C-alpha cells in the first residue's frame, strides 16, 4: 500500500499512475477534493488551457479557451471517479513513523500501514504573512472569494500578481473604492495577458488608485498606513485583501522527517530523478517541490512527477 498525502491534481495523478501498475494506493486529504482549487476565487479562469491540466488521459473539455474554477472542480471529480480512487477526505495526517516498507501513517481518524509515502500537499494552506500591526484584524483577508461582499467599501488590495489584480478589478466592478498597493515598481509580468491591460488602464484613468514601490506599515480599524515613494499616507479603509501569496507547510514536512535546503527557498531535499526525499521510501510531488519559489511549478509542469514516482515505486516493489 502507498499512502498519498494530499488530494490535489498531482496527488490524484500519482494514485492513477500507481493503479495503472496494479499498486494499491490510498489518498488522505485534510480538506475537500482538490482543496486548493476549491479555495480559488469563484469566478477564476485558469491561465493554462484545459488539456494542460489533464491527468490520467481523462479528457478535460472546457466551454472556453481557458477553463474556469468550476469546470476544474467537476473535471477532477470525474477523473477520480473514472479510476475509482481510494480517497479519504477531511482526514488529517498527524504523524508518519516507521521506515521504508513499513511506515505507519497516523491520522485524526485511524492508523494505516504503508510501504511507501508520497507527500503532495501543495502550498495553498499557509498564507505568507506581512508581520505588521493590525494584520490579525477581522477585516484582513488572505483568501479572496468573490466581490459582492465589498460593494461600496473602501478596499485595499495588496500585491501585484494575478490574485491581487483579479481581486482589485472584480471589487472595483462592484463599486468598491479600490486602492492597490504593490511592493514592486510595476504589475508582475506573469499577470494574465488578457487582464494586464485592464488593470493598467483602470489605474491610468484613476478608477483604481495604484501605489507602487509601496509597503503597508500598519492596518487600523478604519484606515491603513502606507509607506509610499511620496511619503507616509493614511487612507480610509474597510477591508484589506492581502494577496501576498502562499507557502508550503514547512512544519508538516519537517515533522515527516523531510529535510529542507538551508537557503531562502527552503526546498525539500529530494532526488530529482525519482523525487524520493532524504527519508527513504518517502517522496514529494507537485508544487510542494519548489519550496518558497511557488511561481515556477504548476499543475502542467509537475504532472510528470506522478510517472516518475510510480515508476520508481514499481521497480522497488518488484
241-245, 295-299, 302-306: lowest mean pLDDT where?
295-299
Q: Quick one: 11 exposed, middle or buried, by C-beta within 10 A (0-12, 13-18, 19+)?
A: buried
What's the length of the chain?
318
CB 7 within 8 A of CB 16: no
CB 161 within 8 A of CB 190: yes
What is the pLDDT averaged over residues 166-182? 97
User: pLDDT tens-digit profile of 44-65?
Assistant: 889 889 999 999 999 999 988 8
Residue ranges and CATH numbers for the domains of the chain are 2-126+246-317 (3.50.50.60), 129-242 (3.50.50.60)
User: pLDDT tens-digit profile of 113-130?
Assistant: 999 999 999 888 789 999
pLDDT at residue 17 in the model: 98
pLDDT at residue 122 in the model: 87
Confidence of residue 242 (pLDDT cuts 50, 70, 90): very high
Q: Which letter does DSSP use for residue 270 in this model?
A: B
pLDDT at 285 exceeding the cut of 80: yes
User: pLDDT tens-digit profile of 143-168?
Assistant: 999 999 999 999 999 999 999 999 99
Q: Which three cell numbers stand for residue 27?
A: 489518498
Confidence of residue 90 (pLDDT cuts 50, 70, 90): very high
- Backbone φ and ψ for 276, nearest 5 degrees, come out as -80, 135
pLDDT at residue 124 in the model: 80
What is the pLDDT averaged over residues 219-238? 98
Q: Which letter does DSSP use for residue 128 in this model?
A: P
Confidence of residue 228 (pLDDT cuts 50, 70, 90): very high
CA dist 235 and 232 (Å) reads 10
Helix or strand (DSSP H, E) at 226 = strand 223-228
pLDDT at 179 exceeding the cut of 80: yes
pLDDT at 84 exceeding the cut of 80: yes
CA dist 108 and 119 (Å) reads 17
pLDDT at residue 91 in the model: 98
Q: How far apart are the first and last CA of the chain?
A: 13
The angle formed by the CA atoms of residues 294, 242 and 168, to the nearest 5 degrees, is: 100
What percentage of the chain reaches a pLDDT higher than 70?
100
CA dist 243 and 180 (Å) reads 10
The angle formed by the CA atoms of residues 111, 112 and 118, to the nearest 5 degrees, is: 125
pLDDT at residue 24 in the model: 97
Taking phi over 0 as left and psi of -120 to 50 as alpha, with beta for the rest, 206 belongs to left
CB 160 within 8 A of CB 183: yes
CA dist 309 and 6 (Å) reads 15
Confidence of residue 110 (pLDDT cuts 50, 70, 90): very high
Confidence of residue 73 (pLDDT cuts 50, 70, 90): very high
Look at 289 and 298; give whichever has higher pLDDT: 289
pLDDT at residue 265 in the model: 87
Confidence of residue 223 (pLDDT cuts 50, 70, 90): very high
Taking phi over 0 as left and psi of -120 to 50 as alpha, with beta for the rest, 151 belongs to beta
What percentage of the chain reaches a pLDDT higher than 90?
87
Confidence of residue 298 (pLDDT cuts 50, 70, 90): confident
Instruction: Name 131's Cβ contacts closer than 8 Å, sequence gap at least 6.
Output: none
Round the average pLDDT of the chain to a whole number and report it: 95
pLDDT at 294 exceeding the cut of 80: no
User: pLDDT tens-digit profile of 11-50?
Assistant: 999 999 999 999 999 999 999 999 999 988 888 889 889 9
Amino acid at each position: 500500500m502507498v499512502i498519498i498525502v494530499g488530494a490535489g491534481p498531482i496527488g490524484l495523478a500519482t494514485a492513477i499512475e500507481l493503479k495503472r501498475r496494479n499498486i494499491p494506493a490510498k489518498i488522505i486529504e485534510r480538506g475537500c477534493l482538490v482543496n486548493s482549487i476549491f479555495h480559488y476565487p469563484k469566478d477564476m479562469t485558469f491561465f493554462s488551457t484545459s488539456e494542460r491540466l489533464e491527468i490520467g488521459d481523462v479528457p478535460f473539455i472546457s466551454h472556453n479557451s481557458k477553463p474556469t474554477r468550476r469546470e476544474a472542480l467537476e473535471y477532477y471529480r470525474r477523473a477520480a471517479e473514472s479510476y475509482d480512487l481510494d480517497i479519504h477526505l477531511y482526514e488529517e495526517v498527524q504523524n508518519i513513523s516507521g521506515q521504508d516498507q513499513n511506515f505507519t501513517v497516523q491520522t485524526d481518524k485511524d492508523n494505516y500501514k504503508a510501504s511507501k509515502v508520497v507527500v503532495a500537499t501543495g502550498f495553498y494552506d499557509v498564507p505568507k504573512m506581512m508581520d505588521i500591526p493590525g494584520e490579525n484584524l477581522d477585516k484582513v483577508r488572505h483568501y479572496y472569494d468573490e466581490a459582492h461582499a465589498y460593494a461600496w467599501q473602501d478596499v485595499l488590495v495588496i500585491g501585484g500578481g494575478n490574485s491581487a489584480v483579479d481581486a482589485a478589478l472584480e471589487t472595483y466592478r462592484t463599486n468598491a473604492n479600490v486602492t492597490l498597493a504593490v511592493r514592486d515598481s510595476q504589475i508582475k509580468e506573469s499577470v494574465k495577458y488578457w487582464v494586464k491591460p485592464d488593470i493598467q488602464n483602470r489605474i491610468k484613468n484613476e478608477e483604481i488608485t495604484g501605489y507602487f514601490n509601496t509597503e503597508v506599515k500598519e492596518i487600523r480599524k478604519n484606515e491603513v498606513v502606507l509607506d509610499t515613494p511620496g511619503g507616509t499616507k493614511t487612507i480610509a479603509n474597510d477591508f484589506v485583501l492581502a494577496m501576498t501569496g502562499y507557502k508550503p507547510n514547512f512544519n508538516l514536512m519537517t515533522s515527516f522527517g523531510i529535510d529542507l535546503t538551508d537557503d531562502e527557498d527552503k526546498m525539500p531535499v529530494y532526488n530529482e530523478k525519482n523525487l524520493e526525499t532524504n527519508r527513504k521510501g518517502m517522496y514529494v510531488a507537485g508544487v510542494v517541490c519548489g519550496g518558497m519559489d511557488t511561481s515556477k511549478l504548476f499543475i502542467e509542469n509537475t504532472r510528470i512527477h506522478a510517472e516518475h514516482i510510480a515508476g520508481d515505486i514499481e521497480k522497488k516493489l518488484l
